[in-house]
Protein backbone atom coordinates (compact mmCIF):
# COMPACT_ATOMS: atom_id res chain seq x y z
CA UNK A 1 0.00 0.00 0.00
CA UNK A 2 1.19 3.51 -0.78
CA UNK A 3 1.28 5.06 2.66
CA UNK A 4 1.98 8.58 1.48
CA UNK A 5 -0.89 11.06 1.55
CA UNK A 6 -0.36 12.00 -2.10
CA UNK A 7 -1.38 15.32 -3.63
CA UNK A 8 -3.46 16.55 -0.72
CA UNK A 9 -4.05 20.11 0.41
CA UNK A 10 -3.08 20.70 4.02
CA UNK A 11 -3.83 23.69 6.24
CA UNK A 12 -1.67 24.18 9.32
CA UNK A 13 -2.33 26.91 11.87
CA UNK A 14 0.67 28.36 13.70
CA UNK A 15 3.16 27.21 11.08
CA UNK A 16 5.66 30.03 11.48
CA UNK A 17 7.96 28.22 13.92
CA UNK A 18 8.29 25.36 16.38
CA UNK A 19 6.03 22.34 16.10
CA UNK A 20 3.95 23.98 13.36
CA UNK A 21 6.97 24.56 11.14
CA UNK A 22 8.04 20.92 11.63
CA UNK A 23 4.50 19.82 10.67
CA UNK A 24 4.62 21.95 7.52
CA UNK A 25 7.95 20.36 6.55
CA UNK A 26 6.76 16.81 7.28
CA UNK A 27 3.54 17.30 5.29
CA UNK A 28 5.48 18.69 2.30
CA UNK A 29 7.70 15.60 2.43
CA UNK A 30 4.53 13.52 2.50
CA UNK A 31 3.42 14.97 -0.84
CA UNK A 32 1.02 17.64 0.41
CA UNK A 33 0.59 21.20 -0.78
CA UNK A 34 0.65 23.24 2.41
CA UNK A 35 -0.92 26.53 3.50
CA UNK A 36 -0.01 27.87 6.91
CA UNK A 37 -1.60 30.60 9.00
CA UNK A 38 0.15 32.75 11.58
CA UNK A 39 0.58 36.41 12.43
CA UNK A 40 4.18 36.46 11.22
CA UNK A 41 5.64 34.58 8.29
CA UNK A 42 8.52 33.36 10.46
CA UNK A 43 11.36 31.46 8.80
CA UNK A 44 9.08 28.77 7.40
CA UNK A 45 8.44 30.19 3.94
CA UNK A 46 12.08 31.10 3.30
CA UNK A 47 13.53 27.91 4.76
CA UNK A 48 11.07 25.44 3.24
CA UNK A 49 10.36 26.96 -0.19
CA UNK A 50 13.45 25.26 -1.73
CA UNK A 51 12.23 21.92 -0.35
CA UNK A 52 8.71 22.55 -1.64
CA UNK A 53 10.07 23.45 -5.08
CA UNK A 54 12.30 20.37 -5.20
CA UNK A 55 9.28 18.22 -4.35
CA UNK A 56 7.07 20.16 -6.79
CA UNK A 57 4.75 21.05 -3.96
CA UNK A 58 3.11 24.38 -3.14
CA UNK A 59 3.89 26.21 0.09
CA UNK A 60 1.95 29.36 1.00
CA UNK A 61 1.58 31.61 4.02
CA UNK A 62 -1.52 33.64 4.82
CA UNK A 63 -1.34 36.22 7.60
CA UNK A 64 -3.91 35.54 10.29
CA UNK A 65 -4.54 36.41 13.91
CA UNK A 66 -6.17 33.27 15.29
CA UNK A 67 -7.42 35.34 18.22
CA UNK A 68 -9.57 37.46 15.92
CA UNK A 69 -12.70 35.87 14.42
CA UNK A 70 -12.80 38.13 11.34
CA UNK A 71 -9.16 37.48 10.60
CA UNK A 72 -9.68 33.71 10.87
CA UNK A 73 -12.74 33.72 8.59
CA UNK A 74 -10.92 35.86 6.00
CA UNK A 75 -7.83 33.65 6.06
CA UNK A 76 -9.91 30.48 5.69
CA UNK A 77 -11.75 31.97 2.72
CA UNK A 78 -8.40 32.85 1.15
CA UNK A 79 -7.09 29.31 1.64
CA UNK A 80 -10.23 27.77 0.14
CA UNK A 81 -10.03 30.16 -2.80
CA UNK A 82 -6.35 29.39 -3.43
CA UNK A 83 -6.33 25.68 -2.66
CA UNK A 84 -9.80 24.81 -3.93
CA UNK A 85 -10.18 22.31 -1.14
CA UNK A 86 -8.55 21.14 2.09
CA UNK A 87 -8.14 17.47 2.95
CA UNK A 88 -5.93 17.89 6.02
CA UNK A 89 -6.54 20.46 8.76
CA UNK A 90 -4.00 20.74 11.57
CA UNK A 91 -4.92 23.13 14.38
CA UNK A 92 -1.56 23.81 16.00
CA UNK A 93 -1.46 27.54 16.86
CA UNK A 94 -1.30 28.01 20.60
CA UNK A 95 -0.20 30.44 23.28
CA UNK A 96 0.39 30.48 27.02
CA UNK A 97 -0.32 33.33 29.43
CA UNK A 98 0.54 31.67 32.71
CA UNK A 99 -0.30 32.77 36.23
CA UNK A 100 -2.04 31.56 39.35
CA UNK A 101 -5.82 31.65 38.99
CA UNK A 102 -6.26 33.97 41.98
CA UNK A 103 -4.24 36.62 40.16
CA UNK A 104 -5.25 35.87 36.60
CA UNK A 105 -6.48 38.82 34.56
CA UNK A 106 -9.57 38.40 32.32
CA UNK A 107 -7.37 39.11 29.32
CA UNK A 108 -5.05 36.18 30.04
CA UNK A 109 -8.06 33.86 30.23
CA UNK A 110 -9.80 35.28 27.14
CA UNK A 111 -6.70 35.38 24.93
CA UNK A 112 -5.64 31.80 25.66
CA UNK A 113 -9.15 30.39 25.21
CA UNK A 114 -9.60 32.42 22.05
CA UNK A 115 -6.39 31.33 20.26
CA UNK A 116 -6.20 27.78 21.63
CA UNK A 117 -9.86 26.74 21.53
CA UNK A 118 -12.22 29.17 19.77
CA UNK A 119 -9.97 29.41 16.71
CA UNK A 120 -10.15 25.62 16.33
CA UNK A 121 -13.95 25.80 16.54
CA UNK A 122 -13.89 28.35 13.69
CA UNK A 123 -11.49 26.39 11.48
CA UNK A 124 -13.20 23.07 12.11
CA UNK A 125 -16.63 24.57 11.36
CA UNK A 126 -15.64 26.07 8.03
CA UNK A 127 -13.20 23.41 6.83
CA UNK A 128 -15.35 20.65 8.36
CA UNK A 129 -18.28 21.79 6.19
CA UNK A 130 -16.05 21.61 3.13
CA UNK A 131 -14.78 18.16 4.09
CA UNK A 132 -18.30 16.94 4.86
CA UNK A 133 -19.57 18.07 1.46
CA UNK A 134 -16.75 16.13 -0.22
CA UNK A 135 -16.91 13.22 2.23
CA UNK A 136 -13.15 13.41 2.52
CA UNK A 137 -10.71 14.83 5.01
CA UNK A 138 -9.04 14.51 8.34
CA UNK A 139 -8.53 16.91 11.24
CA UNK A 140 -5.78 16.89 13.86
CA UNK A 141 -6.06 19.22 16.85
CA UNK A 142 -3.11 19.97 19.12
CA UNK A 143 -3.76 19.57 22.81
CA UNK A 144 -1.11 19.10 25.50
CA UNK A 145 -0.11 16.86 28.37
CA UNK A 146 -1.37 19.79 30.48
CA UNK A 147 -4.88 19.29 29.08
CA UNK A 148 -4.75 15.71 30.38
CA UNK A 149 -2.94 16.11 33.70
CA UNK A 150 -3.43 19.80 34.61
CA UNK A 151 -0.62 22.10 35.76
CA UNK A 152 -0.54 24.73 38.48
CA UNK A 153 -0.23 28.20 36.97
CA UNK A 154 -1.87 27.12 33.73
CA UNK A 155 -5.62 26.93 34.44
CA UNK A 156 -6.39 28.91 31.29
CA UNK A 157 -4.07 26.81 29.11
CA UNK A 158 -5.27 23.51 30.67
CA UNK A 159 -8.92 24.51 30.15
CA UNK A 160 -8.24 25.31 26.49
CA UNK A 161 -6.33 22.08 25.89
CA UNK A 162 -8.76 19.84 27.80
CA UNK A 163 -11.57 21.63 25.96
CA UNK A 164 -9.98 20.70 22.65
CA UNK A 165 -10.07 17.03 23.61
CA UNK A 166 -13.81 17.02 24.37
CA UNK A 167 -14.44 19.17 21.31
CA UNK A 168 -12.48 16.80 19.05
CA UNK A 169 -14.13 13.63 20.36
CA UNK A 170 -17.58 15.20 19.85
CA UNK A 171 -16.67 16.37 16.35
CA UNK A 172 -15.26 12.92 15.53
CA UNK A 173 -18.69 11.49 16.38
CA UNK A 174 -20.47 14.13 14.27
CA UNK A 175 -18.26 13.67 11.19
CA UNK A 176 -17.60 9.93 11.27
CA UNK A 177 -20.66 9.25 9.10
CA UNK A 178 -19.01 11.32 6.35
CA UNK A 179 -15.77 9.34 6.64
CA UNK A 180 -13.91 12.24 8.24
CA UNK A 181 -11.51 11.41 11.06
CA UNK A 182 -10.78 13.81 13.91
CA UNK A 183 -7.90 13.12 16.28
CA UNK A 184 -5.79 14.91 18.85
CA UNK A 185 -2.06 15.00 19.34
CA UNK A 186 -0.99 15.79 22.92
CA UNK A 187 2.66 16.83 23.11
CA UNK A 188 4.52 16.73 26.38
CA UNK A 189 7.61 18.88 26.89
CA UNK A 190 8.92 19.83 23.44
CA UNK A 191 11.93 22.01 22.60
CA UNK A 192 10.47 25.15 20.96
CA UNK A 193 10.22 28.91 21.57
CA UNK A 194 7.28 28.16 23.90
CA UNK A 195 9.53 26.21 26.29
CA UNK A 196 12.99 27.71 25.71
CA UNK A 197 12.28 30.68 27.98
CA UNK A 198 12.03 28.39 31.01
CA UNK A 199 15.04 28.39 33.34
CA UNK A 200 17.47 25.45 33.00
CA UNK A 201 16.80 24.42 36.60
CA UNK A 202 13.07 24.02 35.82
CA UNK A 203 13.86 22.11 32.62
CA UNK A 204 16.04 19.73 34.66
CA UNK A 205 13.19 19.20 37.14
CA UNK A 206 10.74 18.54 34.31
CA UNK A 207 13.14 16.01 32.76
CA UNK A 208 12.97 13.96 35.96
CA UNK A 209 9.19 13.66 35.40
CA UNK A 210 9.62 12.30 31.86
CA UNK A 211 9.98 8.50 31.84
CA UNK A 212 12.10 8.63 28.65
CA UNK A 213 14.34 11.15 30.44
CA UNK A 214 14.58 13.81 27.76
CA UNK A 215 12.75 16.70 26.13
CA UNK A 216 11.05 15.89 22.81
CA UNK A 217 11.63 17.49 19.42
CA UNK A 218 9.16 19.26 17.16
CA UNK A 219 9.91 16.64 14.50
CA UNK A 220 8.78 13.85 16.81
CA UNK A 221 5.38 15.53 17.12
CA UNK A 222 5.22 16.27 13.38
CA UNK A 223 5.77 12.59 12.50
CA UNK A 224 2.75 11.62 14.58
CA UNK A 225 0.62 14.31 12.93
CA UNK A 226 1.61 13.01 9.49
CA UNK A 227 0.75 9.49 10.62
CA UNK A 228 -2.69 10.57 11.89
CA UNK A 229 -3.29 12.45 8.63
CA UNK A 230 -2.32 9.46 6.51
CA UNK A 231 -4.20 6.39 5.36
CA UNK A 232 -2.06 4.40 7.80
CA UNK A 233 -4.41 5.81 10.46
CA UNK A 234 -7.56 5.09 8.44
CA UNK A 235 -9.29 3.27 11.36
CA UNK A 236 -8.36 5.82 14.03
CA UNK A 237 -10.77 8.58 15.03
CA UNK A 238 -11.65 10.42 18.24
CA UNK A 239 -8.33 9.48 19.82
CA UNK A 240 -5.74 11.40 21.80
CA UNK A 241 -2.22 10.39 20.91
CA UNK A 242 0.28 11.56 23.52
CA UNK A 243 3.78 12.40 22.30
CA UNK A 244 5.29 13.03 25.69
CA UNK A 245 8.01 10.53 26.50
CA UNK A 246 5.54 8.79 28.81
CA UNK A 247 4.63 11.79 31.00
CA UNK A 248 0.87 11.17 30.95
CA UNK A 249 0.94 7.41 31.59
P1 LIG B 1 5.55 28.24 19.47
O2 LIG B 1 6.93 27.87 19.09
O3 LIG B 1 5.34 29.34 20.44
O4 LIG B 1 4.73 28.53 18.14
C5 LIG B 1 3.38 28.90 18.22
C6 LIG B 1 2.80 29.07 16.83
O7 LIG B 1 1.45 29.55 16.99
C8 LIG B 1 3.56 30.11 16.02
O9 LIG B 1 3.56 29.74 14.67
C10 LIG B 1 2.71 31.35 16.21
O11 LIG B 1 2.82 32.21 15.09
C12 LIG B 1 1.31 30.76 16.28
N13 LIG B 1 0.39 31.67 16.95
C14 LIG B 1 0.42 32.07 18.25
N15 LIG B 1 -0.53 32.98 18.46
C16 LIG B 1 -1.17 33.17 17.27
C17 LIG B 1 -2.22 34.00 16.84
N18 LIG B 1 -2.87 34.84 17.67
N19 LIG B 1 -2.59 33.94 15.55
C20 LIG B 1 -1.96 33.12 14.68
N21 LIG B 1 -0.96 32.30 15.02
C22 LIG B 1 -0.56 32.34 16.31
O23 LIG B 1 4.76 26.99 20.08
P24 LIG B 1 5.01 25.42 19.92
O25 LIG B 1 5.79 24.98 21.09
O26 LIG B 1 5.48 25.10 18.55
O27 LIG B 1 3.52 24.89 20.14
C28 LIG B 1 2.69 24.51 19.07
C29 LIG B 1 1.43 23.88 19.66
O30 LIG B 1 1.79 22.77 20.48
C31 LIG B 1 0.64 24.83 20.57
O32 LIG B 1 -0.74 24.61 20.42
C33 LIG B 1 1.08 24.41 21.96
O34 LIG B 1 0.13 24.71 22.94
C35 LIG B 1 1.25 22.91 21.77
N36 LIG B 1 2.14 22.28 22.75
C37 LIG B 1 3.45 22.64 22.82
C38 LIG B 1 4.26 22.03 23.77
C39 LIG B 1 5.72 22.35 23.92
O40 LIG B 1 6.35 21.81 24.85
N41 LIG B 1 6.33 23.16 23.10
C42 LIG B 1 3.71 21.07 24.62
C43 LIG B 1 2.38 20.74 24.51
C44 LIG B 1 1.60 21.35 23.55
P45 LIG B 1 2.90 33.83 15.19
O46 LIG B 1 3.54 34.18 16.49
O47 LIG B 1 3.71 34.19 13.99
O48 LIG B 1 1.50 34.30 15.08
pLDDT in tens, 55-107: 999 999 999 999 999 999 999 999 999 999 999 999 999 999 999 999 999 99
- The atom of ligand 1 lying closest to the CA of 115 is 18
Say yes or no: CB of residue 127 within 6 Å of ligand 1.
no
Q: Are 109 and 153 in contact (CB under 8 A)?
A: no
Contacts of 121 (CB under 8 A, 6+ apart): 167
- The atom of ligand 1 lying closest to the CA of 71 is 19
- pLDDT category, 2, cuts 50, 70, 90? very low
CA–CA dist 138, 221 (Å, integer): 17
* Statement: residue 5 has pLDDT above 60: no
The whole-number average pLDDT for the span 119-136 is 98
Atom 44 of ligand 1, nearest CA residue: 144
- The atom of ligand 1 lying closest to the CA of 93 is 7
Say yes or no: CB of residue 163 within 6 Å of ligand 1.
no
Q: Are 144 and 243 in contact (CB under 8 A)?
A: no
CA–CA dist 132, 137 (Å, integer): 8
Say yes or no: CB of residue 219 within 6 Å of ligand 1.
no
CA–CA dist 81, 88 (Å, integer): 16
- pLDDT category, 4, cuts 50, 70, 90? low
> To test ligand 1's pocket by mutation, which of 11, 12, 15, 18 has the most ligand atoms within 8 angstroms of CB?
18
The H or E element spanning position 242 is strand 240-243
Say yes or no: CB of residue 195 within 6 Å of ligand 1.
yes
* Statement: residue 122 has pLDDT above 80: yes
Question: How many angstroms does the Cα of residue 160 sit away from the middle of ligand 1?
Answer: 13
- Per-residue pLDDT, 1: 38
> To test ligand 1's pocket by mutation, which of 17, 144, 184, 194 has the most ligand atoms within 8 angstroms of CB?
194
The H or E element spanning position 202 is helix 200-208
| Listed range (43-52, 96-105, 114-123, 193-202) with the worst mean pLDDT | 193-202
Residues known to be catalytic: 157
pLDDT digits (tens, 9 = 90+) for 176-229: 999 999 999 999 999 998 888 888 898 899 999 999 999 999 999 999 999 999
CA–CA dist 195, 150 (Å, integer): 17
- Closest to 144 (Cα-Cα) out of 162, 156, 119: 162
Amino acid sequence: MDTKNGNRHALVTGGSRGIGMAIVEALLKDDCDVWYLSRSQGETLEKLTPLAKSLQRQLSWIACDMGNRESVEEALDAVIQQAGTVEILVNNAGITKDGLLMRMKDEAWDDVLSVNLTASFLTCRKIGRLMASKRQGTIINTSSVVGIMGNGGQTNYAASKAGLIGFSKSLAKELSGRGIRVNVVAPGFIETAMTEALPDSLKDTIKTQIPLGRIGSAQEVAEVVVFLASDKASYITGQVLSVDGGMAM
